[in-house]
Amino acid sequence: MPPQSRSALPEPQSFDRVLSSMCTAPHPVARAAAERYLGTNPGDPESYAGVADLEARTVDLLGTVVGLEDPHGYVPAGGTEANIQAVRAARNLGSSSSPNVVAPESAHFSFHKAAEILEVELRTTPVDDDFRADPDAMAAAADEDTVLLVGVAGSTEYGRVDPIPDLAAVAQSVGARVHVDAAFGGFLLPFTGHQWHFDHAAIDTMTIDPHKAGQSAIPAGGFIARDHETLDALAVETPYLESESQVTLGGTRSGAGVASAFAAISELWPDGYEAEFERTMGLADWLAGALESRGEDPIEPSLPLVTSEMDAEVFEALRSAGWRVARTGDGALRIVLMPHVTKEMLQAFLKDLDRIRG
Amino acid sequence: MPPQSRSALPEPQSFDRVLSSMCTAPHPVARAAAERYLGTNPGDPESYAGVADLEARTVDLLGTVVGLEDPHGYVPAGGTEANIQAVRAARNLGSSSSPNVVAPESAHFSFHKAAEILEVELRTTPVDDDFRADPDAMAAAADEDTVLLVGVAGSTEYGRVDPIPDLAAVAQSVGARVHVDAAFGGFLLPFTGHQWHFDHAAIDTMTIDPHKAGQSAIPAGGFIARDHETLDALAVETPYLESESQVTLGGTRSGAGVASAFAAISELWPDGYEAEFERTMGLADWLAGALESRGEDPIEPSLPLVTSEMDAEVFEALRSAGWRVARTGDGALRIVLMPHVTKEMLQAFLKDLDRIRG
């Protein structure tokens, strides 16, 4: 029986109509680990040594996923923090007094947030016909003040994977660092033929989110760097903590997130993730086919994410029917096939779509 | 029975020797709420409307605690995020091209982090003999480029409360904003005679951490602003979220933290917090007396936090004996009397101290 409380908390939403989120119901082992570690703070490793050790082990596991033998990094609150940190490290390590970052227009809005916060210029470049970064456009936008090129490995809107090795070559030619945002793609791409990680190209930093396809509880991001120099560029001195410096954006941090990520990756890497990728990728292809058969023109999915043009009126009616669906900046319906999404959910969704369109 | 897992997670540390942390074991209702809301993300209010509503209600509750009838704000990951956001808002709303922030040297190191990230100058000023901010020193350090004055209501090292109304007067004279960091003090000071909150002085923003003396699970901070203009200054556009903009530093955020803060404050404000303040303040006075009777010279506690000069050797021996204790920048032993700390713990600690000193 839950403890008595003066506050009647409503039931949290169920996932049975959530098609818009890149988060999902935590895996049972991830949930159990989060519950056990709710009272721990890896931000204070001298008070909470156990969870700080778990964080180091989680970074090692993430290194395995992203093709890096000796990874440096930590478990940030999420992808936004990791992306901010990548820009911050590049700014701090660069020598420009008016630094800029070049990113495809498909990059997550957290790069706009990072640019505003860190006072760097963000130069966004057009994507190609398949919504992927265009290395030539990025090369043209870069100059001697460019400290970082951003590539996306699993874009938020279309699930596209940028040509990372080509972007790395551009970065090398202008002396900039390379960051890959694999927040969404990190636990999916290992089971594809894409070239996206540290072993495929001269990447400096990467974002990979255990609390997305990694099936961890929130908050559990991943900020992974090739060199320790990157972390040094983020270090701030910490008096009255027995540790000497802190590289994270946050201070007190969630041990629940760290333990949850550790448990999920230990449990699911690689077979569990592979099975889930196959299942959700299959669902994406099936959904795209089902939309096509209804006269829609969905974009061919490259990861478990389906987009398709949709009248605003139909979209609103779907939301009114309780479906948590989202739109791309261009107004296309966007459905993310996360672990909680089943074929039955999609069938119910299509039934409502058919009803709405009459 | 917990789910089977390939990863054997070690037991999280117990709190029975933790005297160094400003976090604590979550209250049972806070823990229950966190567990129920592990799979929610208030950073995506259109997908997770329930928890977004809980966050708004939590901000209202926090407003009650900090003397503000119509509060604006949100539940950040913790005090560091809230402090960064206060500096960011002041920088963005100010008109200086080389902005500076004036803070007492007792301010939390997150202000150094904020200054580095946001590229503002941090000017720290000496504290008085009682470790409190000196308004004259802050006035002398401020100039026309000063966008923010920081006051601390419950300092991390000594638990001291700055003269907030005097700092607000200084800020007014130079046209700067005022931020009060009540991360530690916010759930303790309502039961003292201190002048520290929005109803006591012309404060613009405040940090108050439910996951410290508020007894919430981590991560649950509080960033509270008097005006909505402050949040507008932090807003970044959000394509492909159905909400239009995002003011938070993070993207995906912990619904567990939000629900936990809501449950804890609903349950404990004000009587439960008052009782806990009385208990822990009593423990602080008792511990200070016990140290004094051993020939030590502890600083008189003003909140439930005791500091006392201590030989480095003795300190190390205490840590080797398993005590999670910390030191101030000056090397003084620093013990925080959080809700998990009991008289029995302190008696055991003193017994070890006596044994070590022979």
Task: Record the tokens describing residue B310, joined without a space.
Answer: 């201590």
Q: CA-CA distance, A76 to A181, in Å (whole number)?
A: 14
Q: CA-CA distance, B199 to B202, in Å (whole number)?
A: 8
CA-nearest residue of chain B to A235? Answer: B113
CB contact under 8 A, A50 and B10: yes
CATH at residue A222: 3.40.640.10
CB contact under 8 A, B50 and A10: yes
CB contact under 8 A, A240 and B78: no
Taking only Cα atoms into account, the Rg of chain B, rounded to an integer number of angstroms, comes to 21
User: Are residue B103 and residue B215 in the same domain, yes or no?
Assistant: yes
User: Are residue B148 and residue B200 in the same domain, yes or no?
Assistant: yes
Domain stops at, among A246, A268, A290: A268
Residue A292 Cα, gap to closest chain B Cα (Å): 22
User: Are residue A285 and residue A209 in the same domain, yes or no?
Assistant: no
Q: What is the DSSP string of B183-230?
A: TTTTTTGGGSS---STTTS---EEE--TTTTT-PPSS---EEESSHHH
- Residue B230 placed within a domain: yes
Residue B69: closest CA among B221, B234, B197, B211: B197
CB contact under 8 A, A6 and B267: yes
Task: Record the tokens describing residue A61, joined without a space.
Answer: 């596991």
User: Are residue A264 and residue A159 in the same domain, yes or no?
Assistant: yes
Orientation of helix B343-357 relative to helix B271-292, angle to 10°: 20
Q: Is A123 on the interface with B (CB under 8 A)?
A: no
DSSP collapsed to 3 states, chain A: CCCCCCCCCCCCCCCCCECCCCCCCCCHHHHHHHHHCCCCCCCCCCCCHHHHHHHHHHHHHHHHHCCCCCCEEECCCCHHHHHHHHHHHHHHHCCCCCCEEEEECCCCCHHHHHHHHHCCEEEEECECCCCCECHHHHHHHCCCCEEEEEEEECCCCCCCECCHHHHHHHHHHHCCEEEEECCCCCCCHHHCCCCCCCCCCCCCEEECCCCCCCCCCCCCCCEEECCHHHHHCCCEECCCCCCCEECCCCCCCCHHHHHHHHHHHHHHCCHHHHHHHHHHHHHHHHHHHHHHHCCCCCECCCCCEEEECCCHHHHHHHHHCCCECEECCCCCEEEECCCCCCHHHHHHHHHHHHHHHC
Is B77 in contact with B211 (CB distance < 8 Å)? no
CB contact under 8 A, B47 and A20: yes
User: Are residue A104 and residue A37 in the same domain, yes or no?
Assistant: yes
- Residue A2 placed within a domain: no
CATH at residue B301: 3.90.1150.10
CB contact under 8 A, A249 and B117: yes
**pLDDT (tens digit per residue) in A140-169:** 999 999 999 999 999 999 999 999 999 999
Residue B257: closest CA among B45, B78, B83, B25: B78
Cα atoms found within 13 Å of the Cα of residue B219, Cβ hemisphere only: 36
User: Are residue B240 and residue B323 in the same domain, yes or no?
Assistant: no
A5 vs B contacts (CB less than 8 Å):
29, 32-33, 263, 266-267
Other C-beta atoms lying within 10 Å of the C-beta of residue A236: 18
Q: Is B7 on the interface with A (CB under 8 A)?
A: yes
- Residue B13 placed within a domain: no
User: Are residue A200 and residue A86 in the same domain, yes or no?
Assistant: yes
Q: CA-CA distance, B162 to A256, in Å (whole number)?
A: 34
Q: What is the mean pLDDT of residues A127-133?
A: 98
- Residue B16 placed within a domain: no
Q: CA-CA distance, B74 to A99, in Å (whole number)?
A: 31
Is A209 in contact with A198 (CB distance < 8 Å)? no
User: Are residue B307 and residue B232 in the same domain, yes or no?
Assistant: no
B142: which residues sit within 8 A by CB, 6+ positions away?
Answer: B102, B123, B149, B170, B171, B174, B176
3-state secondary structure of B321: coil
Q: Is A16 on the interface with B (CB under 8 A)?
A: no
Q: Is B12 on the interface with A (CB under 8 A)?
A: yes
pLDDT number for residue A163 = 98
- Residue A134 placed within a domain: yes
B 165-194 → A contacts, CB under 8 A? none
Q: Is A252 on the interface with B (CB under 8 A)?
A: yes
CA distances from A333 to A286, A301, A344, B56, B244 (A): 16, 13, 19, 28, 16
- The list of chain B residues with pLDDT below 70 reads 1-7, 239-243
Q: Is B69 on the interface with A (CB under 8 A)?
A: no
CB contact under 8 A, A39 and B15: yes
Query: Taking CA B75 as the corner, what is the angle to CA B74 and CA B77, rounded to the nearest 5 degrees?
Result: 135
CB contact under 8 A, B78 and A18: no
Q: Is B21 on the interface with A (CB under 8 A)?
A: yes
pLDDT number for residue B188 = 98
CA distances from B272 to A6, A9, B231, B331 (A): 12, 19, 31, 34
A89 vs B contacts (CB less than 8 Å):
none
Q: Is B280 on the interface with A (CB under 8 A)?
A: no
Other C-beta atoms lying within 10 Å of the C-beta of residue B115: 22
**pLDDT (tens digit per residue) in A63-74:** 999 999 999 999
Q: How confident is the model at residue A358 (pLDDT cuts 50, 70, 90)?
A: confident
Express the helix, strand and coil content of chain B in percent, nearest 5 each: 40, 15, 45
Other C-beta atoms lying within 10 Å of the C-beta of residue B239: 16
Task: Record the tokens describing residue A257, joined without a space.
Answer: 């997130």
| Domain encompassing residue B83 | 28-268
pLDDT number for residue B237 = 84
3-state secondary structure of B180: strand
> Does A2 have pLDDT greater than 80?
no
Q: Is A13 on the interface with B (CB under 8 A)?
A: yes
Is B257 in contact with B26 (CB distance < 8 Å)? no
Q: CA-CA distance, B53 to B51, in Å (whole number)?
A: 5
CB contact under 8 A, A13 and B254: no
Q: What is the mean pLDDT of residues A333-342?
A: 98
- Residue B11 placed within a domain: no
Domain stops at, among A268, A292, A307: A268
- Residue B174 placed within a domain: yes
pLDDT number for residue B238 = 78
Interchain CB contacts (distance < 8 Å): A and B: 298
CA-nearest residue of chain B to A119? Answer: B118
Between B6 and A46, where is the model more confident?
A: A46
> Does A1 have pLDDT greater than 90?
no
Of B2, B35, B47, the CB nearest to A21: B47
User: Are residue B101 and residue B231 in the same domain, yes or no?
Assistant: yes
Question: What is the pTM assigned to this prediction?
Answer: 0.96
CA-nearest residue of chain A to B97? Answer: A119
User: Are residue A58 and residue A178 in the same domain, yes or no?
Assistant: yes
Residue A31 Cα, gap to closest chain B Cα (Å): 7
Chain centroid offset of residue B20 CA: 14
Taking only Cα atoms into account, the Rg of chain A, rounded to an integer number of angstroms, comes to 21
pLDDT number for residue B358 = 87
Q: How confident is the model at residue A241 (pLDDT cuts 50, 70, 90)?
A: low
Mean of pLDDT over chain A: 95
User: Are residue B237 and residue B314 in the same domain, yes or no?
Assistant: no
Strand arrangement of the beta sheet that strand A72-74 belongs to: A72-74, A223-225, A205-207, A177-181, A146-152, A100-104, A121-125
Q: For chain A, what percent of residues have pLDDT higher than 70?
A: 97
- Residue B22 placed within a domain: no
CA-nearest residue of chain B to A109? Answer: B238
Question: Structural domain tally of chain B?
Answer: 2
Q: Is A80 on the interface with B (CB under 8 A)?
A: yes
Q: CA-CA distance, A13 to A9, in Å (whole number)?
A: 12
Of B9, B24, B40, the CB nearest to A36: B9
Q: Is B11 on the interface with A (CB under 8 A)?
A: yes
Domain stops at, among B227, B248, B268: B268
User: Are residue B149 and residue B207 in the same domain, yes or no?
Assistant: yes
